[in-house]
Amino acid sequence: MDDNQTVPARVYVERTLALIKPDAIDKADEIEDIILCSGFTVLQKRKIHLTPEQCSDFYAEQYGKLFFPRLTVFMSSAPVTAYVLARDQAIAYWKSLIGPSNPIKAKETHPNCLRAKYGTSDLRNALHGSDSFLAAEKEIKFMFPNSVIEPIPTRYAAKDYLNRFVNSTLLNGLTELCKRKPADPFTWLADWLIENNPNKPKVIHAT
């Protein structure tokens, strides 16, 4: 490899939970257009009317704070739209895009953020975003119980994985396939790969 050639760092696509809250639900289509234009992929989406009990569970970490009762009443007052969004650094990028939690201050410090545009108060601030990977995992599971949370490898990471763990075995299998020319090549290759899986556990029989 050329000493001057840089090797791309491994980049993983993150997932984050985004909520369009009741006060901005009528702007959902407009906000979704902004989401897509910002490089996010929408993996899952649902519109749901949460009960006060569900809101209490979702915001359990805020329990005991003075605004907690008002928060649960507000969040259960009308439907919300929940999204699982994906892109590189999705959590930080979405938090940056929606801006500070107080829309009034956001209008001064981050006038182009979504909360400055759609929010009106600390409570009615239009949008929600996960604060961390652990929070995103928990919140996505809450809104989408059947979700599987794993980092998605991007092009360079996937290529590296294939080169290290897949390509050599697959090349051997395809070479053998060309030599044998079986009547059903797909089934033959599938059976060959199972039989020659380099990660297949080795069974040692006791003598």
- Residues identified as active-site: 128
Name the nearest CA neighbour of 156 among 1, 6, 40, 12: 12
* Pairing label, strands 152-153, 12-20: antiparallel
In angstroms, how far is CA 34 from the centroid of its own chain?
Answer: 17
Could you say which DSSP state residue 121 is in? Answer: S
Question: Between the CA of residue 110 and those of 33, 105, 115, 117, what are the distances in Å?
Answer: 20, 8, 9, 10
Strand partners, 84: 17, 44
Question: Between the CA of residue 9 and those of 154, 159, 160, what are the distances in Å?
Answer: 10, 12, 11
Written as six digits, the tokens of 54 are 């569900």
